[in-house]
Structure 1
Amino acid sequence: MKPFLLILPALFLSCALNCAELDFDALNQSAKDNLINLINIDTSQPEPQETKALRYIYKKLNKYKIDWDIYRTEKPRGNLIAVLKADKELAKRNEKPLILISHLDTAAIQDGWTLPPAKATLKDNRIYGLGSTDAKNYAAINLTILTRLSKGDFKLNRDIIFLFTSDEESGSEKGIKFLYDRYPEKLKAGYALNEGGGVMKNEDGKIPVDILFVEAATKMYMDILVTAKGDGGNASSVGANNAIYKLSQTLATIESYQPLYKFSPLAKTFFERIFPYQDDDAQTTLKLLASEDPLQAQQTAKIISEDEFFKTQISDTITPTVLTSGTEANTAFNEASANLNCRLLPQSDPMAFVDELSALFAEDENVTLTVIERPEIPFPQPPASFDDPLFKAIEKAAEQTFPGILVLPGLTPASSESEFLRRHGVITYGIGPLLQENGNGPHQPDESISEKDFFEQLKLTFNIVLNLVTDPQPENKASAPKPETNEEDEAREPVQDDFLPIIQEGAAAI
C-alpha cells in the first residue's frame, strides 16, 4: 500500500466578491509595514511587555479615529479591544458578532538565530523575525482589516470585535482568560477567527491536492510526572537497582503502550473529505477504518497512524519532555522522574486515561504517576457539523483565494486561545499561511514568512471577513478607495519605546 502523505500547503490567485473594491496591493504594503514594525518590538517570553506593541497599534487607530480600550493585570501586560459596529439598519437583524483575535507575545528567543530575532529582516523575499508566523502576522493583518473597514464604505451586517491579547504563549492568564474573568460582556460573540490552521500545497507531489487545513478543535493538555524509585548512594557501589535504569525501563513500557484509537464525528469528517483524493489502496484502507468490527477498525487505525498527522486526529499521545534525578556526578539518587506531556482527544476522559496508564505498573510499587496539570472539564467539543455561517465563509474564501483547494477541518495538538473562546460558546476556527514542514516556522530559529504567503494570508482572511460581515451587492458596488497618502509613511516610522501613560482598565481613547 502506498504511504499516506498529508503535510499541508496554496496557489496565489483571485479575489473576494468585493475584491474590485479593494486595492490589495496597497493593503499588502500596509500589512507588511505593520508586521515589520511589530516584529521590531520585542515581546518575547518570559517578560513580553505586550503594551509596547499596543502602543504602536493604538497610535495607528488614533489616526483613523477608531475607539479602543486597554485592559490589563499590570502595566506592561495589556490587551486591546476595538469594535467596528454594524450598520444601523443591518444591526436590526441581530447577527452574532465576529471576533478577530491575535496575540502579541512571542515564544522565548531560542539559540541558533543567525539574524536578529527582534528586528525584522527582509531577505530573499522573506520577512524574518520572532513572531513572523506566530502570531504577529495575524496581528498585522487584523490591524490592516480594522483600519480599512473603519472607512465605512462597507456596510457591516454585524459587529466585528478586534482583540489583541497578551500571554498566549504561557497560558493566557494575563490575556483572554483575564478578559473573560473580568469583562465577559466585552467578548459576547457568535464566531471567532484565530490562528491554528494553514495552507498545504501539492507543489512537490507529497499530497494529492492543495489543502486549507482549518483548526476546528484542539486537544486537551495534560502533564503527568512518572517517578521510578531505586537504591541511592555512592555511584561506585549502587548495583542494578538504579532509579535511572528503572525510569528508562518504565519509559520503554510507556512508549510501547498505545491507547485505543477513537473516531469522533470530526475525525470522520476529516477522513471523508480526503477520501476522494486517495488512490485505490488508500481508499480501501479508509473504508476499513469505518468498519463496525472494533478490532478491524483498531488494526486499520494503527496502519494509518504511521502518518503522524493522521495519528493526531484519532489518538491520545504521550511525549516525555523533562528528565530529573540527582545533581552530583558521583552519587546515584534514589528517584528519577520524567514529565509526560499528554495531548488528549476532546472526547477522552483524562482521569480514565491516567488510570489506564497507571494500570501498566499496578504490580510495581517502585513506579508512581502523579498528575501535574490536568485539563479543565468539560472540554470544548468540535462542531457536530460544518454548516455554520463562518465555516461557509471560510469555504467560499478558500475557493476565491485558492481555486480548487480542499477545505479540511480537523484538530491540532497545540493549545491556543481558541479553547477559551469555545468554552464560552463562540464558534471558533483557526486558519493561517503556508504550513512549513522544516525550519523557519513558529518557535524556531530564523522564524520567517515569505512575502507571497503573507499576501495570500491577508487575502484569505479579508475574504473570509467580507463573506461573513457584508451582504452581496453585485449591482451596487462601492467605489474603489483612494490610495492612502500617509498610512505607509506612518507605518514605517520606528516605534519609540517612550513611556506609556497609565491607561485605566476600560478607559476609552479620546
Structure 2
Amino acid sequence: MTRTLLEDEALGFVRDLIRIDSINTGDLATIGDGETRAARFVQSQLEELGIETTFVEPVPGRGSVVARLRGTDPDAGALIVHAHLDVVPVDAADWTHPPFGAEIADGLLYGRGAVDMKNYAGVILAVARHFARSGIRPRRDLIFAFLADEESGGVWGASWLVDNRPELFAGATEAISEVGGFSVPLVEGRRAYLLATAEKGVGGLRLTARGEAGHASRPLPSDPVPQLAGAVARIGAHRFPVVRTPALARFLSVVGAARGVTFSDENLDAELEDLGFVGRVIAAAARNTAAPTVLRAGDKSNIIPGSAEAIVDYRALPGGEDDLLTEVARLAGETVEVENLRSMHPIASPIDGPFIDAISAALTSQDPDGVVVPYLLPASTDNKHFARLGVHGYGFVPLRVPDDFDVYGQFHSADECVPVESLYFSARVTAAILRAA
C-alpha cells in the first residue's frame, strides 16, 4: 500500500523523538537537556511550515513548546492536543533492542516512548504540518502542546504553564491526549477502542505510630511497630465497594451488551477477568484503592523504636476522596496518626457530546467494526492540570493493534514497542478527529 506523506512523517517523527534521550529522573540535579532538545526539534519542524510557536523553559532542560492553529469557527471552544516529551528511566541491560535506537523489527518499532508517549507526539506533529501544508483549517482552534515533566507530575510542564502562561490556552474547552484510544477485543471480529473520560485522583498518606523507645526484651502490644503493622494489614486487606461511575456504567453496558453478559457488583472482578488484560484495568477503576507501599521503623534489632511510619498510595474515584480518607483513618485506628501528604484530585468529563461523536466518526471511518467505549483511567495524565482551567480532558491516542497486543503492558516496560501499522492508523484517525472536532 502506498503511504501518504502524513503517515511517513508520523513514523519518521516518532523515530526521531525516540532517538532523543529525554529521561526524566525526577531530580533536577540528574536530568539532562533531553526534554529541551526534543521541544526544540518539534519547534523547528513546526516553524519550517510557518506555524508560530512559543517555547518555554522554566528551568534548564525542562523545555515545552506550544502552537495554535486557527479554526474556521471563532465561537467554538479551542481543543488542546497535548503529548509529553519526557520518558521514564531505562535499564538497557533489560532490553533486546537499544532503548533509544528506534529500531524496527518484525513490524514493531522499539524504543522508550514508543507508547508512552512519543508515538502521539510524533503523530500530532505530523498532523499539524499536514494541515499547514495542505491549507486545511479545522473547525475549532487547535492548541498543540508538547510538554516536559509529565512523568514526575508535570511540575515544570503542564502545571507550570497553567499557572504561569494560561493565555496560551485561552478559550480552550476540551483536551485530548493519553491514555486510551487503543483497541482491545470486544467480540470476534470487533474491537473496542477505550476513551478515557475520567481519571482517578492520586495521593499519598503518612501513617505514624508513636510510643516509648526501649529495650526489645520488654515489648508491649502498644509499641509503634505492632500498632503500625496492624493498621497496614487492615488497610492492605480492605476492599472498597464498587462504584458505578458514569464511565464504568457505560463501559459495562456496552461491553456487556456486545458479549451477552450482565455484570454484577458482587462478582465484578471475576467477571472482568474474562476480558483479559483490559479487565484488570477496569477492575482497578471500579473502586477506590489504598495500597501500603513503604514501611520505616527502627534500625537495630534489640531496640524498640519510638515511632514507626508507613506510606499509603491512594487512588480516589471522582467524588470519592472524602469517603476514602475517612475509611483509611478508621482502618488505621485511633492511635495511628494519618497525614495527607499530597494529592491530585480526580477529574471527570462528559461521556456524551459532539466531541465524542467526532472521535467515534473518525474511528469508524478507519475501522467500521470498531466502537468507542468510555472508561475511567485509574492513573493520571496532564489532563488533570488543564482541568484547573475548566478544560474537559479525554484520553484517546488511536492505535489499532492485534488482539493479543497489550498496549497497557508497554507503559514503562523493557522493549517498549508499537506496531508500525498502528502508527499509520493513528495518523489517519487523529487527523480526522482534529479536522472535524
TM-score (norm 1): 0.75
The DSSP-based 3-state class of the residue aligned with 2:128 is helix
Q: In the TM superposition, what is the alpha-carbon distance from 1:211 to its structure 2 partner?
A: 0.9
Find the aligned partners of 2:200 and 2:55 in 1 and give their Cα distance. Answer: 30
Alignment match, 2:136: 154
Unpaired runs of 5+ residues, structure 1, are 1-12, 14-22, 290-297, 469-510
Alignment match, 1:29: 8
Q: In the TM superposition, what is the alpha-carbon distance from 1:233 to its structure 2 partner?
A: 5.6
Q: Give runs of ≥4 in structure 1 deviating > 6 Å.
A: none
- Of 308, 321, 324, 1:353 maps to 324
For residues 88-487 of structure 1, the aligned pairs below 5 Å read 90-91=72-73, 94-110=75-91, 112-114=93-95, 115-188=97-170, 189-202=172-185, 209-229=190-210, 237=217, 239=219, 241=221, 243-244=224-225, 246-279=227-260, 282-283=261-262, 286=263, 289=264, 299=266, 308-328=280-300, 333-348=305-320, 350-362=321-333, 365=335, 367-376=336-345, 379-383=346-350, 385-387=351-353, 389-432=354-397, 433=399, 434=401, 436-437=405-406, 441-468=410-437
The DSSP-based 3-state class of the residue aligned with 2:266 is helix
CA contact (8 A) 1:110 1:444 kept: no
Structure 1 stretch displaced more, 74-83 or 408-417: 74-83
Q: In the TM superposition, what is the alpha-carbon distance from 1:443 to its structure 2 partner?
A: 1.1
CA deviations on 1:301-350 (whole Å, 9 max, x unpaired) are: 576577533323331011222222334567554433322111100111x2
CA contact (8 A) 1:304 1:310 kept: no
Change (3 A) 1:55 1:352: same
CA deviations on 1:353-408 (whole Å, 9 max, x unpaired) are: 2222222243x52x3322111345xx53331x402x22111111121122211211
CA contact (8 A) 2:92 2:98 kept: no
Alignment match, 2:276: none
Find the aligned partners of 2:189 and 2:81 in 1 and give their Cα distance. Answer: 31
CA contact (8 A) 2:81 2:143 kept: yes
Q: In the TM superposition, what is the alpha-carbon distance from 1:24 to its structure 2 partner?
A: 4.5
Change (3 A) 1:407 1:156: closer
CA contact (8 A) 1:221 1:341 kept: yes
What amino acid maps onto 1:81 in structure 2? Answer: V
CA contact (8 A) 2:232 2:332 kept: no
Alignment match, 2:49: 64
CA contact (8 A) 2:349 2:394 kept: no
Unpaired runs of 5+ residues, structure 2, are 26-30, 274-278
Query: Per residue, is there more strand in 1 or in 2?
Result: 2
The DSSP-based 3-state class of the residue aligned with 1:119 is coil
Find the aligned partners of 1:450 and 1:302 in 2 and give their Cα distance. Answer: 30
Q: In the TM superposition, what is the alpha-carbon distance from 1:418 to its structure 2 partner?
A: 0.8
Structure 1 stretch displaced more, 49-58 or 298-307: 298-307
Q: In the TM superposition, what is the alpha-carbon distance from 1:83 to its structure 2 partner?
A: 1.6
Alignment match, 1:38: 17
What amino acid maps onto 2:329 in structure 1? Answer: S
Change (3 A) 1:328 1:445: farther
The DSSP-based 3-state class of the residue aligned with 2:414 is coil
Structure 1 stretch displaced more, 303-312 or 160-169: 303-312
The DSSP-based 3-state class of the residue aligned with 2:23 is coil
What amino acid maps onto 1:360 in structure 2? Answer: L
- Of 12, 21, 40, 1:55 maps to 40
CA contact (8 A) 1:208 1:278 kept: no
Alignment match, 1:16: none
Change (3 A) 1:155 1:222: closer
The DSSP-based 3-state class of the residue aligned with 2:66 is strand
CA contact (8 A) 2:138 2:436 kept: no
Find the aligned partners of 1:124 and 1:231 in 2 and give their Cα distance. Answer: 63
Q: In the TM superposition, what is the alpha-carbon distance from 1:194 to its structure 2 partner?
A: 0.6
Structure 1 stretch displaced more, 237-246 or 134-143: 237-246
Alignment match, 1:17: none
The DSSP-based 3-state class of the residue aligned with 2:94 is coil
Structure 1 vs Structure 2 CA RMSD: 2.9
The DSSP-based 3-state class of the residue aligned with 1:374 is strand
Change (3 A) 1:337 1:422: same
Find the aligned partners of 1:325 and 1:112 in 2 and give their Cα distance. Answer: 34
Question: Aligned pairs, how many?
Answer: 419
Larger RCO, structure (CA 8 Å, separation 6 or more): 1
Change (3 A) 1:466 1:131: same
Find the aligned partners of 1:230 and 1:208 in 2 and give their Cα distance. Answer: 62
Find the aligned partners of 1:54 and 1:302 in 2 and give their Cα distance. Answer: 42
CA deviations on 1:42-101 (whole Å, 9 max, x unpaired) are: 111122531111221122223222221112212421221112223xxx34x522222211
Q: In the TM superposition, what is the alpha-carbon distance from 1:131 to its structure 2 partner?
A: 1.1
